[in-house]
């Protein structure tokens, strides 16, 4: 396991304390968030997480996550042709566990790391989309605040477009159900990551030419 420090430079305020304990998900080192402890300003505080590393001992769980991601992508592409309500029904894995995962540098190919990370980020977007569909405020909601802390800590830095949209949504604190901004903001993300994935697959043809 590798330890990474995400810098809170520019972060003015968060609304809950982060406890640096180990999560109950296979001891993967995800931070445990104590939602009952309000805090004031923690500007400048370093946010420590244990980055998950996929290797010979744990790669099956990453493959299971890939299966969930593929089901999610199919549902988004086939059922709603974009993000839809409860599209992440089949997502069983911890989305933050793999969104910035690494693989062991031992020469073996364990998993499609790009798909694993991107699919985890898309699954996080689905959480925000469901809150919008359910007319739930982002400010004060445990789900959005957990991911808000992760975004502030740079956990989604591999996907700056997703990071920017979700940060904008968090800054708004509440997304009115009759405001199409969020839907429109996600169009390019769906096209790039979900539709783009299937387009790349469709172009693969070893007999072409």
Please check whether residue 126 is in contact with residue 147, taking contact to mean a CB–CB distance below 8 angstroms.
no
Q: What is the pLDDT of residue 22?
A: 34
Lowest mean pLDDT among 38-52, 61-75, 86-100: 38-52
For residues 39-53, average pLDDT: 47
Residue 209 has what pLDDT? Answer: 65
- The predicted pLDDT at position 50 comes to 64
Of the pLDDT bands very low, low, confident and very high (cuts 50, 70, 90), residue 67 is very high
Of the candidate ranges 23-27, 75-79, 97-101, the one whose mean pLDDT is the lowest = 23-27
Answer yes or no: is pLDDT of 32 > 80. no
Average pLDDT, rounded, for the chain: 81
Q: What is the pTM of this model?
A: 0.77
């Amino acid at each position: 396991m590798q330890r990474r420090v995400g810098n809170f430079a520019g972060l003015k305020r968060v609304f809950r304390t982060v406890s640096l304990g180990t999560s109950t998900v296979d001891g993967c080192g995800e931070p445990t968030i104590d939602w009952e402890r309000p805090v004031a300003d923690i500007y400048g505080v370093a946010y420590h997480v244990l980055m998950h590393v996929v290797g010979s001992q744990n790669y099956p769980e990453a493959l299971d996550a890939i299966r969930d991601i593929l089901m999610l992508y199919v549902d988004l592409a086939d059922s709603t042709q974009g993000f839809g309500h409860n599209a992440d029904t089949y997502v069983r894995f911890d989305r933050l566990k793999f969104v910035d995962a690494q693989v062991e540098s031992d020469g073996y190919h364990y998993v499609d790391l790009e798909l694993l990370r991107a699919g985890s980020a898309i699954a996080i977007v689905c959480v925000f989309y469901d809150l919008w569909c359910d007319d739930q405020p982002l400010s004060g909601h445990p789900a959005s605040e957990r991911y808000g802390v992760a975004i502030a800590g740079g956990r989604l830095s591999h996907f700056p477009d997703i990071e920017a949209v979700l940060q904008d949504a968090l800054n708004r604190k509440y997304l009115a159900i009759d405001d199409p901004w969020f839907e429109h903001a996600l169009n390019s993300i769906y096209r790039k990551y979900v539709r783009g994935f299937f387009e790349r697959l469709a172009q693969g043809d070893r007999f072409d030419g």
